[in-house]
Amino acid sequence: MRVLLIGHRGQLGSDLKQAFASEDLVLAGRDNLPVQDGAAVGAFVQANRPDLILNCSAFHRVDDCEDQPEAAFEINVFGVRNLALAARAADAVLVHFSTDYVFDSDRRTPYNESVTPCPKCIYGVSKAAGELMLASLLPKHFVFRVSGLYGYAGSREKGSNFVEMMIGLARQGKPIRVVDDQVLTPTSTADVAEALPRVIRTGSYGLYHLTNAGQCSWYEFAKAIFEGAGLHPDLSPVPSRAFPTRAKRPTYSVLDNHRLRAEGLSELPHWRDALSRYISGLLSKKCN
């Protein structure tokens, strides 16, 4: 099977590259495939004729989306449109990744796939619109909503991820303040990448939530990181108002992987288990 992987240098893309290593992989990124250029996307897909397209491209600098809504929609909505049209012309399956940020309400129970999106920031609005754009154009598609991703490749924009950033701050001996009123499910990119082929092989197209099990606040996540790494920094919980941001973050965005269960597929491990494995691997890399 020929697989086109877009965004192969990012956290998730790097792990997907490993998960699909046995396939005929075509790698693409911003340098050779700007998804916002419809003509370029169409030509690239026709030239390479993939059977499966994995789209990890996104404008996901959440605060910047508030100031640059046109840029956010250009990639998160119209870029998805360009890929959907190209996939349709090539009779390819398109896999697209969305986010827990499409939800932000007073709800305090996990959102399953049947709940209508209710985003409160431009990033969430653009990702919800991208989902609708894809669903309207291409029947042969998968949308996977993910949450709080972290992987060894780090975040290209930030140069790190939350886990490594917390460990770095602790080693500097700085006091650390983390919000305790935003609840989510931190999710390992390795676990997402491992599960993805199993879902795709079902041929049951559509929308899936794909996160590790359980839930926690960012403060609880940070505390677990330090426990796992054997660190003891000066850590305190604070409310979100202590860190004003241009974009509103969801106070509760835990996703229920209902569709996985409905398809008879095993769920992803608990977030604490995923974090433990990640930190063990991270510390092992540091020692080698």
* Catalytic residue set: 123
In this prediction, residue 160 carries a pLDDT of 80
- Residue 161, classed as helix, strand or coil, is coil
In this prediction, residue 287 carries a pLDDT of 56
The boundaries of the domain holding residue 203 are 2-219+225-287
Give the type of residue at 188.
Answer: S
Query: What is the pTM assigned to this prediction?
Result: 0.96
Name the token pair of 168: 């770095």
- The 10 Å Cβ neighbour count of residue 266 is 10
How many helices and strands in the chain, by DSSP H and E? 11, 12
Structural domain total, the chain:
1
The partner residues of 238 in beta bridges, in order of sequence, read: 179
> Quick one: residue 204, left, alpha or beta (phi over 0 = left, psi -120 to 50 = alpha)?
beta
Q: Convert the pLDDT of each residue in 1-50 to its tens digit.
A: 999 999 999 999 999 999 999 999 999 999 999 999 999 999 999 999 99
In this prediction, residue 158 carries a pLDDT of 60
Nearest 10 degrees: CA dihedral of 145, 185, 73, 34?
A: -70
The CATH number of residue 212's host domain is 3.40.50.720
In this prediction, residue 174 carries a pLDDT of 86
87 burial class (0-12, 13-18, 19+ CB within 10 angstroms)?
buried
Q: What percentage of the chain carries pLDDT values higher than 70?
A: 97
Q: Convert the pLDDT of each residue in 103-157 to its tens digit.
A: 999 999 999 999 999 999 999 999 999 999 999 999 999 999 999 999 998 765 5
The DSSP string of 106-150 is S--S-B-TTSPPB--SHHHHHHHHHHHHHHHH-SSEEEEEE-SEE
- The 10 Å Cβ neighbour count of residue 115 is 17
Q: Convert the pLDDT of each residue in 208-258 to its tens digit.
A: 999 999 999 999 999 999 999 999 999 999 999 999 999 999 999 999 999
Backbone angles phi, psi at 69, to 5 degrees: -60, -35
